[in-house]
Structure 1
Amino acid sequence: MSPSAASSTRASSNRQTGRKLIAQNKKARHDYEILDVYEAGIALQGTEVKSLRLGRASLVDGFATIDDGEVFLRGVHIPEYEQGSWTNHEPRRVRKLLLHRGEILRLIGKTKESGLTLVPLSLYFLDGKAKVEIALVRGKKRYDKRQDLARRDADREVQRALGRRNKGMG
């Protein structure tokens, strides 16, 4: 094996593979009706990536906007990297999302409809690259939320009853 081949195999073994979840927005799934989901890359600074690798981020107040044909992520909190110096990033800065032109055009058309918003669902590393899953959503009414809770409770009761029946208790 040549020295260059040995160094390339060593470098590739350090790379991360698979999906590593950093943050999730569980409240979004409760508050909104999800219509469509997109995966986008994020333009990040070096200290932001290091902070994300430590698993620190919050999507709670996050949303995405489309300005001049580009998609931006706003309100997402990535805390400053503690070992960073004067090069540290602003925790709630606006970050550009990397999407295909066709996806952006589709999103522009759909967000023109009334009541549709772009919300981040999860932030993760996929094969070493930071990705965000954004969803095109419509806000749920209060009664929709109640119906979802009632449906979930009913499903849970059915599962409990089946479990008791399978154990021979009921």
Structure 2
Amino acid sequence: MVKEQGRTMVAQNKKARYDFHVEDTYEAGLVLTGTEVKSLRAGRASLVDGFVDIDADEAWLLGVHIPEYTQGTWTNHAARRRRKLLLHREQIDKIERRVSEKGLTVVPLALYFKDGRAKVEIALARGKKTWDKRHSIAERQANRETEQAVGRRLKGMGD
């Protein structure tokens, strides 16, 4: 059997980058059941309401929705259960110290398979204010307009 190579994206949390200023990112492994892995390989997951909690010196992923496997039997998993994250002790301690600061939280950014193993990219993030979100939208719009202008100029269409 050929071993899987590379990185296969399952789900991304684009809303997290809009709602938070990302300060630090970490890659963590996940403890999953068999039906969860099969459901992820089918490309089904949602990170929108997800967050990470440090409890008794262990990191837990909460609020992530991995739907039940359609061909699963009584061994199927609960869709929004707690899932343990696999991180080094130093990383967990560092995250716990930083979260104790005011305004920092840990959110999942992406869920993917790396060399056949399920991984989640988590980020230490600080919540954005409303004016920050408006600034992000304006910045994105300005970048889009400059790209369009450059494209028109390259095609010889002028302004």
Range of TM-score over shorter length: over 0.9
Q: What corresponds to 1:32 in structure 2?
A: 20
Which consecutive residues of structure 1, in runs of 5 or more, have no partner in the other structure?
1-10
- Aligned to 1:113, which of 76, 86, 101? 101
1:67 is aligned to 55
Q: Are 2:11 and 1:18 equivalent residues in the alignment?
A: no
More helix by share: 1
Give me the whole-angstrom Cα distance separating, in 2, the residues matched to 1:96 and 1:87.
Answer: 19
- Cα separation, partners in 2 of 1:158 and 1:68, compared to 1, 3 Å: same
Match of 1:152 in 2: 140
Which whole-Å CA distance do the structure 2 matches of 1:48 and 1:148 have between them? 35
Q: In the TM superposition, what are the counterparts of 1:34-113 in structure 2 within 5 Å?
A: 34-113=22-101
Q: Distance in 2 between matches of 1:69 and 1:110?
A: 14
Give, in whole Å, the separation in 2 of the partners of 1:166 and 1:88: 55
Structure-2 separation of matches of 1:76 and 1:57: 8
Alpha-carbon distance between aligned partners in 1 of 2:37 and 2:31, rounded to the nearest angstrom: 10
Cα deviations by residue, 1:14-73 (Å, 9 ceiling, x for unpaired): x21111111111111111110011000000111111111111111111000001111000
TM-score (norm 1): 0.89
**How many Å apart are 1:87 and its aligned residue?**
1.1
Give the TM-score normalised by structure 2. 0.95
2:140 counterpart of 1:162 = no
Q: Percent identity at matched positions?
A: 63
Unpaired stretches in structure 2, ≥5 consecutive residues: none
Instruction: State the distance in 1 between where 2:156 and 2:76 align.
Output: 61
- Give the distance between the partners of 2:151 and 2:74, measured in 1 at CA: 58
- Number of aligned positions between the proteins: 158
CA–CA distance in 2 between the matches of 1:138 and 1:29? 10
1:126 and 2:114 correspond: yes
Amino acid of the residue matched to residue 86 of structure 2? Answer: L
CA RMSD, 1 decimal = 1.0
What amino acid is the match of 1:120? P
Q: Distance in 2 between matches of 1:18 and 1:164?
A: 36
Q: How far apart are the structure 2 equivalents of 1:92 and 1:157?
A: 40
